[in-house]
Homo-oligomer: A and B are copies of this chain.
Amino acid sequence: MKRVVTFGEVLMRLSPPGHERLFQSPTLRTYFGGSEANTAASLAHFGARVEHVTRVPSNALGDAALAALRAEGVGVRACARGGARMGLYFVEGGADVRPLRVVYDRAGSAFSEIEPEHVHWDAVLRGAEWFHVSGITPALGEGPLRSVHAALNAARAASVPVSLDLNFRPALWVGRDPKPILQPIAKRAQLLIANPGAIETMLGITTAGTIPEPPEALRATAEKVHELFGCTRVAITQRETISASEHGWQAFLWDAADGAMHEGGRHQVQVVDRVGGGDSFVAGLLHALLEGRSPAHAVRFATAASALKLTIPGDFNRVTADEVERLLSSHR
């Protein structure tokens, strides 16, 4: 059983019941999630030994966030406690022509004020087999950015390979250029995961701009990422939002070893919960690659895993590797 370390903010999400609009009923369903934590939870369901590093406040919300991760099987021993508040977001799922609506309330969160010294990075990464972070974390503040670099340094010192999911969130970069921040991090990653738009905005590589982009264009983009940043594997995901209730989802993995662009297949899914789709793709990829599967299999496994995620309420992909394999075998 492999040991993976992930790092990033955990938010409490609040959603109305059924297909209601926010606050139409006086009831909210709580979930906990966050890009890297979602990847961690999915890896734990695949059987990995995962440690998620984050910072939550010393109150009932912070307690609940850690309990939620522990329940999924994610280790939280290295997490820092403190800070003013838990980051929140309110999500209305939408339906067909009515799109997803999100109200963020994450400013001033405990995590946004994390500092490298809150975490024993050397101890955390010693003996780990993988470290994963997304482009959300360095966007959250100076302390999170410093912490990413502290983690990357500790990973290098411990020879732990690194993956980076660019995960471009426009709201986090308003008035800032993400490129000078993300490019150095990309150079530290063996595996980079992104959609074409994020690659253009955060790494400065021009892409075709169509939805979906043709495989040949994606291959060119992946090669460019490899040339400029040295990543030996580049995964590119593409979501077609047919409506709030139906998505097309496909992905590719470029592998420096054979220079091939491996196709993960396309799933068109009636969406139960779109949040965490990309994060579950990363988990599928890491799981399969850490188990020594070929890139060709890994991207198919990861794409099927994230198709399953879209049918599950909440941010976490609560499926086993067996369930993913069963979908793969029924899917052609």
- The chain A residues found within 8 Å of chain B, CB to CB, are 14, 18-31, 59-61, 63-64, 67-68, 70-73, 84-86, 88, 90, 92, 94-99, 101, 103, 105, 107-108, 243-245, 267, 269-270, 272, 304, 307-308, 310-314, 318-319, 323, 326-327, 331
Contacts and interface: CB of A to CB of B under 8 A. Distances in A.
Nearest to A270: B96
B30 A29 contact: no
A96 B247 CA distance: 12
Contacts of A304: 97
Contact of A97 (B31, B108, B308): B308
A153 to B, nearest CB: 29
A21 B304 CA distance: 17
A239 B99 CA distance: 22
Contacts of A244: 311
Contact of A26 (B29, B59, B310): B29
Q: So how many copies of this chain end up in the complex?
A: 6
Contacts of A96: 269-270, 272, 310-311
Query: Among the interface residues A88, A94, A245, A311, which one has the most CB atoms of the partner chain B within 10 A?
Result: A311
A171 to B, nearest CB: 13
A168 to B, nearest CB: 20
Query: Among the interface residues A14, A21, A319, which one has the most CB atoms of the partner chain B within 10 A?
Result: A21
Given A60-B23, A67-B73, A71-B68, A307 B103 contact: no
A26 B31 contact: yes
Contacts of A71: 67-68, 70-71
A107 B94 CA distance: 30
B18 A98 contact: no
Contacts of A24: 313-314, 318
Contacts of A95: 270, 272, 311-312
Contacts of A29: 26-27
A105 B90 contact: no
A29 B318 CA distance: 20
A329 to B, nearest CB: 12
Contacts of A22: 60-61, 64
A23 B244 CA distance: 26
A307 B97 CA distance: 7
A332 to B, nearest CB: 13
17 contacts: A14-B14, A18-B18, A20-B312, A21-B312, A23-B30, A60-B103, A61-B90, A61-B105, A67-B72, A70-B70, A84-B107, A88-B88, A88-B105, A95-B312, A97-B267, A98-B312, A244-B311
Given A61-B90, A97-B308, A327-B97, A272 B27 contact: no
A73 B25 CA distance: 16
Contact of A59 (B61, B98, B103, B319): B103
A73 B65 CA distance: 12
A19 B312 CA distance: 7
A314 to B, nearest CB: 7
A64 B16 CA distance: 13
